[in-house]
Every structure is written in structure tokens, then in C-alpha cells.
């Protein structure tokens, strides 16, 4: 496995494959299975901003503890929050691979001090899954972007462990946003998060959730932007997410410039032990192409290094489409 070693957030991973935040990373037993199957790291099932704020506001404040850190200690008695922190502590005691907790949020208010408790529990980094749905037509894109920047600045004041933002691709300028994250000290980005999308049941005439699982074709939403972002020469790590169903899919993301690759949907279908096969597929491909380690080919086909970078540009779409007979 040494040749599959990868660097992510200053951490050394025995494999570039990371099990992403999900029910598959919610218990110590499942985390051990992931490690035994070859995962390079695990991202714990998310705590939600609503959960954290519920517990903050459901417990009385103490006039004797006006400081934020003391207030945090006051509400940690809640079972749900304490169980999450215990999972971090126990995982760090039991696993050799990095443990990355996850928080799912949509504002920068109230909950950010909780990240300090995660750091104290022993987390190697924290992944912030953030998406602001632009439903207010009076709110400009600048206003929406400011929420991300405020969030980063608040987190940076309370924790020293690496911060990773798991973002969506619905920005006016993704590369600008990543540059701004980097300028504010964010160590990594996950491209991209998945969120619930609506569908319609025409028989029942109801709005229903669309499938939450990815498929291989969704790589098209991700490959371009990883190829572009990894070419910007920023010291910010990139973890690919969405559409990873085989070792070959992971190789594609690594070639585009990703530092690691997050896996989820396929593990629901084939089991966490499928990671073993995915690692073998990556290793076999490397041997076939005479690569000794991941760094030999990481980013080999990104926007800066590929001899035909125009294929990454959206303006080329009609040129290639019109050439199809």
C-alpha cells in the first residue's frame, strides 16, 4: 500500500480513498471496517448546525460563565453532542488513519465555537459541509459569498486544526471562491457536496426527493473544476467527491489534480470492503503505466499541464458537439 500513499491537509494517507460523511462512518465498528478495507481516512457522519444550536439554546446560560468556551462546556452534557465527541475520541484511540469530523451548516451564527470541542477531542481536521440555497431574490451573490467568508474567519479564531470546506458548484466563479478560501487560511476544499434535489411523482402528483446516490456520469460536474482549480498553484488541497464508483474513477480525479478522493454511494451498494478492490484497481493501473507513486501522475492532466487545455473551457462545447455526426 506504500505506493498508494497520498498527502492531504498535511496528513499522510495510506490510500487516496476517503470514506465520506455518511451512515457508513457513524459507528466505531464501521470506522474500523473502513480502515481494515484500505481507507486512507474517514470523515465522520455530520452533526447539523440545527442540532448544535438546539442544544446550545435548550440549556440555561450560567451568569458565572460569561465566556464562550465556558458556555460550550455547559451544554456538552447533552447526549447527542457528547456521543459525537466520544466517537471522535474513541476513533482516535482505535484507528491509525486520520479522523475528520463533519459539520453541516448554512450560517455562521452561534455554532462555530463548538469546533473547539472537536479539536480538543482529537480530530485531525474538520470538514464543514456548507451550502447556502439562494432563495431570496433580494440577496446578491456577494451577500451569499460573505456568509462563507464570515464562517471561515470565525472558525479560524477558535481552532488550529485544518479546515476543509465541502462546497457545491453553484457559484458565479468557483475559482474566485477557492482563491478567497485560500487567502483566509482554509487548508482544503471538497468538490463537490451532494444535497437533496426534488423530483415529481406524476402518479401521486407530489414533490418527492430525488435519488441521493451518485452515478458515474456525474463526474462531468466535477472533473473540469478540479482540473481548473488544481492548476491555480494555490496551497489548498482538493478532495474529489461525486461519481466515484471504481478505482478507475478515482484515477481520473487524481489525474485531474485531486489530492484525495471521497467515496460513498458505491459503498452503500457493494459494501465498505469494496475499498480493497478499488485500491487494487488503482495499484494495477499504476503498475501498467509504470508509476511508482501517486505524485508521479497527480495533476498530469489538469488545466496547466495538459497539452490541450481548451477542452476544459465551456466555450469549446459547441465546437466539439457540432463535430459529432
- Given a contact cutoff of 8 angstroms between Cβ atoms, the answer to whether 105 and 166 are in contact is no
Q: What cell was used for 303? A: 488545466
**Spatial contact of 85 and 142, defined as CB atoms under 8 Å apart:** no
What is the pLDDT at residue 325?
53
Distance CA 75, CA 81 (A): 9
Which parts of 95-246 fold into alpha helices (H)? 114-120, 141-158, 174-183, 223-229
What pairs with residue 18 in β-bridges?
A: 41, 262
Nine-digit cell string for 130:
456548507
166/106 Cα distance (integer angstroms): 12
Per-residue pLDDT tens digits for 94-113: 999 999 999 999 888 879 99
pTM over 0.75: yes
Q: How high is the pLDDT of residue 175?
A: 95
Element (DSSP H or E) covering residue 252: helix 247-256
| 8 Å CB contact between 19 and 42 | yes
**311, containing H or E segment:** none
Predicted local confidence at residue 108, as pLDDT: 84
pLDDT of 128 reads: 97
> Cα angle vertex 201, ends 198, 207, to 5°?
40
Grid cell for residue 274: 469494496
The pLDDT, as a whole number, for residue 134 is: 78
Note whether 7 and 259 are within 8 A (CB). yes
d(CA 229, CA 165): 14
Ranges in the chain, pLDDT < 70: 1, 54-79, 217, 314-325
Domain spans of the chain, in order of start: 2-322
Q: What is the grid cell recorded at 27?
A: 459507528
CATH architecture of the domain covering 2-322: Alpha-Beta Barrel (3.20)
User: What's the distance, CA 173 to chain centroid?
Assistant: 19
pLDDT, one tens digit per residue, over 196-233 is: 778 888 999 998 877 777 777 677 789 999 999 999 98
pLDDT recorded at residue 312: 81
pLDDT of residue 67: 47
* Strand positions, DSSP E, 160-228: 163-167, 188-191, 198-201, 206-209
**Crossing angle between the packed helical segments 49-58 and 79-94, to the nearest 10 degrees:** 130
Amino acid at each position: 500500500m506504500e505506493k498508494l500513499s497520498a498527502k492531504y491537509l498535511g496528513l499522510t494517507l495510506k490510500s487516496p480513498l476517503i470514506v465520506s460523511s455518511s451512515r457508513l462512518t457513524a459507528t466505531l465498528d464501521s470506522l474500523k471496517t473502513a480502515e481494515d478495507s484500505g481507507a486512507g481516512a474517514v470523515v465522520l457522519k455530520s452533526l447539523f448546525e440545527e442540532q448544535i444550536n438546539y442544544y446550545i439554546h435548550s440549556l440555561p446560560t450560567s451568569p458565572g460563565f460569561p465566556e464562550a468556551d465556558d458556555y460550550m462546556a455547559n451544554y456538552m452534557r447533552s447526549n447527542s453532542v457528547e456521543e459525537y465527541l466520544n466517537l471522535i475520541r474513541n476513533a482516535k484511540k482505535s484507528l491509525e488513519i486520520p479522523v475528520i469530523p463533519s459539520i453541516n451548516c448554512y450560517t455562521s451564527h452561534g455554532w462555530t465555537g463548538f469546533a473547539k470541542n472537536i479539536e480538543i477531542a482529537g480530530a485531525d481536521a474538520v470538514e464543514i459541509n456548507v451550502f447556502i440555497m439562494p432563495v431570496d431574490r433580494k440577496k446578491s451573490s456577494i451577500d451569499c459569498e460573505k456568509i462563507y467568508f464570515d464562517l471561515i474567519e470565525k472558525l479560524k479564531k477558535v481552532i488550529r486544526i485544518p479546515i476543509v470546506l465541502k462546497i457545491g458548484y453553484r457559484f458565479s466563479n468557483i475559482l474566485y471562491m477557492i482563491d478567497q478560501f485560500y487567502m483566509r487560511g482554509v487548508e482544503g476544499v471538497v468538490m463537490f457536496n451532494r444535497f437533496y434535489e426534488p423530483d415529481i411523482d406524476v402518479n401521486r402528483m407530489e414533490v418527492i426527493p430525488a435519488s441521493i446516490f451518485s452515478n458515474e456520469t456525474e463526474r462531468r460536474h466535477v472533473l473540469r473544476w478540479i482540473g481548473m482549480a488544481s492548476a491555480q498553484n494555490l496551497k489548498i488541497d482538493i478532495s474529489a467527491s461525486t461519481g466515484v464508483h471504481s478505482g478507475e474513477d478515482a484515477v481520473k480525479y487524481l489525474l485531474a489534480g485531486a489530492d484525495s478522493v471521497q467515496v460513498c454511494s458505491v459503498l452503500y451498494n457493494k459494501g465498505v470492503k469494496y475499498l480493497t478492490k478499488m485500491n487494487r484497481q488503482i495499484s494495477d493501473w499504476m503498475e501498467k503505466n509504470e508509476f511508482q507513486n501517486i505524485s508521479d501522475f497527480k495533476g498530469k492532466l489538469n488545466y496547466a499541464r495538459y497539452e490541450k487545455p481548451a477542452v476544459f473551457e465551456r466555450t469549446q462545447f459547441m465546437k466539439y458537439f457540432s463535430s459529432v455526426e
